[in-house]
């Protein structure tokens, strides 16, 4: 097999947080999947000033010495490199949409979902409406703009319509708490969703990958929650910032999150719903969805997270590993699907 030249698209044109988050995941992928007999990895690193760099690695030293260039020079360089495939590592909205669209224009295939699907997934209300139309149960909420008054009787969840990583999410238990919760959510988006709180049974993530054109449901990941002390997940459950300002993953162990036993009856139920969501949104290669399981065992769709960095810390990677699919096999499966359908 010939060596594939794969470009890792890293960074963010929006802000330092997403730039650091992207670099964190991409570093994990580069380290874990390096195989000179299979891959020739290249890196494109975009910073909030919208300039491009092509560093040798994602170390601060190599990034610092890489020459910053504008988009038109970056395009000239990219089109001269004979890139076989691009692996998106960007998590901001522009990175998931505009920058993927650029590679469509350049006719360079890439792993993962298309810009239009990513744009849909970034709006939680739109995503819920689409999957509900295909029969998936969703908590019936309302979309508010500044000045609007919620009509849903608490308990309710208030969250930005387009923010990720649980930024700005609050559980409101009394109408007097709406003011503070809305103020917090509006810091992250111009639209806010208020939806009924699904009483806690369980909260899980369901992943889907595509192999040989067929949808394959992965083992579920479940998160530790408590009806009294921890009824919803927050930003601190996912990422932490060290004293030097660098992002790192929140500590994961089998007490805070774990892979659900495949024989658990909820597994097959959620996998079937996840496949419906995948099809409803027009996903390709892989997808990932959050579900709240009520006390009666009914899954309720919460949101979609349609990205995978192919880092060992990526949720889909962890799920696949639990299914006996090592990271390099997972990556190769996605590469084959990409090049087959390109």
DSSP one-letter string for 225-270: -BTTTBSS--GGGTEEE-TTS-EEEPP--TTTEEEPPTTSHHHHHH
Per-residue pLDDT of the chain (342 residues; tens, 9 = 90+): 589 999 999 999 999 999 999 999 999 999 999 999 999 999 999 999 999 999 999 999 999 999 999 999 999 999 999 999 999 999 999 999 999 999 999 999 999 999 999 999 999 999 999 999 999 999 988 999 999 999 999 999 999 998 665 688 999 999 999 999 999 999 999 999 999 999 878 999 999 999 999 999 999 999 988 666 676 766 555 545 444 555 455 545 556 889 999 999 999 999 999 999 999 999 999 999 999 999 999 999 999 999 999 999 999 999 999 999 999 999 999 999 999 987
Give the DSSP H/E element, type plus range, for residue 333: helix 327-341
- Helix, strand, coil percentages for the chain (3-state, nearest 5): 35, 25, 40
Distance CA 69, CA 54 (A): 9
pTM for this model (two decimals): 0.90
Computed on alpha carbons and rounded to an integer, the radius of gyration of the chain in Å comes to 20
Look at strands 286-293 and 299-304 and give their pairing: antiparallel
β-sheet bridge partners, residue 293? 202, 299
For residues 147 and 166, the answer to whether their CB atoms sit within 8 Å is no
């Amino acid at each position: 097999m010939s060596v594939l030249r794969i470009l890792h698209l890293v960074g963010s044109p929006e802000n330092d947080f997403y730039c650091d988050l992207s670099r964190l995941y991409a570093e994990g992928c580069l380290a874990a999947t390096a195989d000179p007999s299979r891959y020739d990895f290249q890196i494109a690193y975009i910073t909030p000033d919208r300039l491009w760099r092509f560093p040798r690695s994602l170390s601060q030293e190599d990034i610092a010495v890489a020459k910053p260039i504008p988009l038109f020079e970056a395009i000239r360089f990219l089109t001269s490199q004979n890139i076989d495939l691009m692996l998106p590592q960007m998590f901001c909205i522009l990175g998931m949409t505009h920058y993927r669209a650029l590679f469509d224009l350049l006719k360079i295939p890439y792993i993962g979902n298309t810009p239009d699907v990513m744009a849909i997934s970034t709006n939680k209300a739109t995503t819920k409406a689409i999957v509900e139309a295909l029969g998936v149960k969703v908590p019936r909420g309302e979309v508010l703009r500044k000045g609007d008054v919620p009509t849903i009787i608490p308990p309710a969840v208030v969250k930005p319509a387009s923010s990720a990583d649980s930024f700005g999410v609050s559980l409101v238990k009394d109408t007097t708490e709406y003011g503070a919760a809305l103020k917090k959510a509006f810091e992250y988006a111009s639209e806010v969703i208020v939806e009924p709180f699904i009483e806690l049974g369980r909260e899980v993530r369901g992943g889907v990958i595509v192999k040989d054109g067929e949808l394959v449901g992965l083992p579920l990941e479940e998160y530790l929650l408590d009806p009294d002390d921890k009824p919803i997940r927050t930003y601190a459950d996912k990422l932490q910032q060290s004293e030097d300002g660098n992002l790192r993953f929140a500590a994961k162990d089998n007490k805070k999150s774990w892979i659900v036993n495949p024989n658990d009856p909820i597994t097959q139920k959620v996998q079937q719903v996840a496949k419906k969501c995948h099809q409803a949104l027009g996903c390709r290669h892989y997808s990932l969805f959050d579900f709240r399981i009520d006390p009666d065992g009914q899954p309720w769709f919460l949101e979609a997270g349609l990205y995978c960095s192919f880092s060992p810390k990526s949720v889909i990677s962890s799920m696949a590993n639990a299914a006996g699919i090592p990271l390099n096999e997972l990556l190769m499966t996605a590469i084959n699907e990409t090049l087959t359908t390109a």
